[in-house]
Chain A
């Protein structure tokens, strides 16, 4: 039978699919980061913590209020987004005229606070969250067993990612947003409340992180550290895609998920570092990123 470097094709197919599933998380998360960076010029280092928050809110809704997965999928991003509103108003809005560095440091601090608080109250072992009944089980694809929930993750992320892209690139609201980042004074002169728009954008970006957190809750354990190391990986995805490029973040998210998946087969030890190797190479050759419009 045909084999590639000793790996049977069925296994390879399975791994590609799994890579795509992981890429779905990268895509939703890096999309949020890219939206925030593109429109606010803030490097949101608390993105990983807000992702964790999404997972925890879903868990809390279930545990304390008996609200299930589907409502959580809508409510948790709203809750996380609302915390984003507060953060933007109280802190981030004071930093727009400063160097990127300050936004990064402030959100890094926020991440430490959120993670620390959750660690204090909920410990580290994580909380169980079951896959919703309707999505349990899976399909036998011949080359692998695909859990229904994972298929749903891909579908949900594709809908959310391309919906966001469409909204920002193709609608009038998106046009305002893009214009406001180019020239806030001018857009303000047209009677648009620019600060409010920016505030809502930030909330939307972190809401995406919360959404990814809910998606992740049933398959990864909901624990305070779930986003801690993820942030630099996702950030690398954004850089590779091109900072601020919406489509770049989405496509790179899926693409790197697949590449990472393949690394897991051929050189599993290296799968944690491959994204950084790619980032270094991309930055050396094409510093504006794969889809960037000039650095």
Chain B
């Protein structure tokens, strides 16, 4: 069956001659993310849709790329994720894996991609390790990382005069690194960290920790946690009158899907850093409304990152004329991009994508003109400043 099709195309190619002079390149992209757990809303099916939109908008078919998209649920388990990644590379001929939220899974998949000649275009995970301690020549980290979030939120708030911080930290590696990153930024900006408390992960009730934070006399309570934990902490902070009594909250990792779940009533005044917001300019609005038609929700920055990463990857494949991972990555790093969603940016030699980040404040309900009209932009953090500098061990530019 397979063979006869192959012969068929060959025959057509022979007949049409010049039209097929440039042979088609088969590209297989795998979207590997959380489709049932904590991160399903911010990545999940939306990322698959974003990848598909990239293929369509790129006009892949006309350009001689035959792109297939696979998707799977890694359930936030590193062993499940690495198993799927291996199988994709070895059995399904996958060339690049996209998204991969959850740092533990992302690190495992990065390792496998490197071993098996694939490329990891990470959008969903936040660990700086991907381009620092555990960097790999074939890892490209697109959307955000904990350092950039810490920089955006930590610096802006401290410089605005709220300089006494207290941290409410999820007790696992991710929370610790978010806390540490932010502490550094706060202290650099002249602020002071008056204390921190580590809560079990996941937790439902934060009242006790919030009360400890309140007693500390800090100006700002930094929430170094994610997903449901952050949502619950914010909800309860408003219930216990913490925000009303003059302390403010800073969510160090939060997505628009979380803010939407909280509703502006509860989340108003909250400051957070993101790489993308649908209502930034005409291009983001146009893309986001097309996305919404298919997904019934506005895109998160993770979705947007999957789209841009796939675009840039496909451009490189077209230019190089193959899916050879070293050549494609080299091309991606050598050529900067100007993207409808992320603006101008480039892939640094260590795989860190450098683009602007934005500090947003959640609008008050009275100012919000629709279900998704949630943010007001407060500041732009230039990419060069937002992300950590490259470390020498991860400078892959000299190789190849």
Find out whether A and B make contact in their complex, taking CB atoms under 8 A apart as touching: yes
**A interface list, Cβ under 8 A from B:** 8, 10-11, 14-15, 18-19, 21-22, 116, 119, 123-128, 130-131, 138, 144-145, 147, 149-150, 219-221, 223, 225-226, 229-230, 261, 264-265, 268-269, 271-273
B390 at the interface (CB under 8 A from A): no
Q: Which residues of B contact A150 (CB under 8 A)?
A: 207, 239
The interface-forming segment of B110-118, B256-264, B328-336, B341-349 is B256-264
B204 touches A268 (CB 8 A): no
Give the segment of B92-100, B125-133, B228-236, B379-387 that binds chain A.
B228-236
Q: Is the CB of B40 within 8 A of A124?
A: yes
A219 to B228, CA, bound (A): 13
Q: Is the CB of A126 within 8 A of B261?
A: yes
B259-274 to A contact mask, C-beta < 8 Å, 1/0: 0111101100000000
Closest chain B residue, CB of each to CB of A271? B200
Q: B198 in the interface, Cβ–Cβ < 8 Å?
A: yes
Query: Contacts A128-B261, A130-B265; is A268 near B198 (CB within 8 Å)?
Result: yes
Contact indicator A221/B199 (Cβ below 8 Å): no
> A138-B241, A145-B245, A219-B236 given as contacts; is B261 within 8 A of A226 (CB)?
no
CB <8 Å contact, A11 and B212: yes
A264 to B202, CA, bound (A): 14
Interchain Cβ contacts under 8 Å between A and B, 20 examples: A10-B215, A11-B211, A119-B36, A125-B42, A125-B231, A125-B260, A126-B261, A127-B261, A138-B239, A145-B240, A145-B241, A147-B241, A149-B239, A220-B235, A221-B232, A221-B261, A226-B204, A264-B208, A268-B197, A269-B200
B222-257 interface code vs A (CB 8 A; 1 in, 0 out): 000001100110011001110001000000000001
Least CB distance from A56 to B in Å reads 14
Q: In the complex, which of the residues A8, A126, A147 contacts B240, with contact meaning CB atoms closer than 8 Å? A: A147
Bound state CA distance, A19 and B41, in angstroms?
32
Give B contacts to A, CB under 8 Å.
Answer: 36-42, 171, 197-200, 202-205, 207-209, 211-212, 215, 227-228, 231-232, 235-236, 239-241, 245, 257-258, 260-263, 265-266
Write out the residue numbers on chain B whose beta carbons fall within 8 Å of the beta carbon of A128: 261-263, 265-266
Contact A264 B209, CB 8 Å, known A8-B215, A124-B40, A220-B235: yes
Min CB distance, B90 to chain A, in Å?
30
Q: Which of chain B's residues has its CB closest to A270's CB? A: B200
- Shortest Cβ distance from residue A219 to the other chain B in the assembled complex, whole angstroms: 6
Measured in the bound complex, the distance between the Cα atoms of B16 and A166 in whole Å is 88
- Please indicate the chain A residues that have their CB under 8 angstroms from the CB of B231 in the complex: 125-126, 221
Contacting residues, chain B, for A10 (C-beta < 8 A): 215
- Provide the bound-state CA to CA distance between A126 and B259, in Å: 11
**Contact A223–B211 (Cβ < 8 Å):** no
Q: Within the complex, what minimum Cβ distance (angstroms) separates B197 from chain A?
A: 5
Residue from the list B208, B232, B239 in contact with A15, Cβ < 8 A: B208
**Residue of B with least CB distance to A220:** B204
- Is the CB–CB distance between A221 and B198 below 8 Å? no
**With known contacts A125-B261, A131-B239, A272–B38 Cβ distance under 8 A:** no
Q: Enumerate chain B residues within 8 angstroms of A149, measured Cβ to Cβ.
A: 239
Contact B40 A119 (CB under 8 A): yes
Q: Kindly list 6 other residue pairs between chains A and B, CB separation below 8 angstroms, not including A125-B42, A150-B239, A219-B236.
A: A123-B41, A124-B40, A125-B260, A127-B261, A221-B235, A225-B38
Q: How far is the CA of A41 from the CA of B43 in the complex (A)?
A: 42
Cβ of B36: which chain A residues have Cβ within 8 Å of it? Answer: 116, 119, 124
A269 touches B235 (CB 8 A): no
Cα–Cα, bound, A219→B240 (Å) = 10
CB-CB < 8 A to A21: which residues of B? 207
A-B pairs with the 4 shortest C-beta distances? A272-B200, A125-B261, A264-B208, A128-B263
A10 to B37, CA, bound (A): 39
Q: Given that A125-B257, A221-B231, A226-B204 are contacting pairs, would A11 and B215 also be in contact in the complex, using a CB cutoff of 8 Å?
A: yes
CB distance from A59 to the nearest CB of B (A): 12
Chain A proximity of B332: nearest CB distance (Å): 32
Nearest-CB residue, chain B, relative to A223: B228
- Chain A residues with CB under 8 Å of B212's CB are 11, 264-265
A residues less than 8 Å from B260 (CB atoms): 125
Assess whether B41 is in contact with A124, with CB atoms less than 8 Å apart.
yes
Distance A127 CA – B25 CA, assembled complex (angstroms)? 45
| Contacts known (A14-B211, A126-B231); A230 close to B198, Cβ less than 8 A | no
Residue of B nearest to A222 (CB): B261
| CB of B177, distance to nearest CB on chain A (Å) | 16
Bound together, the chains give a CA A116 to CA B37 distance in angstroms of 10
* Chain B nearest Cβ from A133, distance in angstroms: 12
Chain A residues positioned under 8 Å from B40 (CB to CB): 119, 123-124
> Distance in Å from the Cβ of B235 to the closest Cβ of chain A?
6
Provide the bound-state CA to CA distance between A149 and B240, in Å. 10
Chain A nearest Cβ from B263, distance in angstroms: 4
Known A-B contacts A128-B266, A131-B239; A261 and B208 likewise in contact (beta carbons under 8 Å): yes
Residue in A124, A147, A226, A264 whose CB lies within 8 Å of B38:
A124
Contact of A125 among B41, B203, B245 (CB under 8 A): B41
Q: Which residues of B contact A127 (CB under 8 A)?
A: 261
B249 to chain A, nearest CB (A): 16
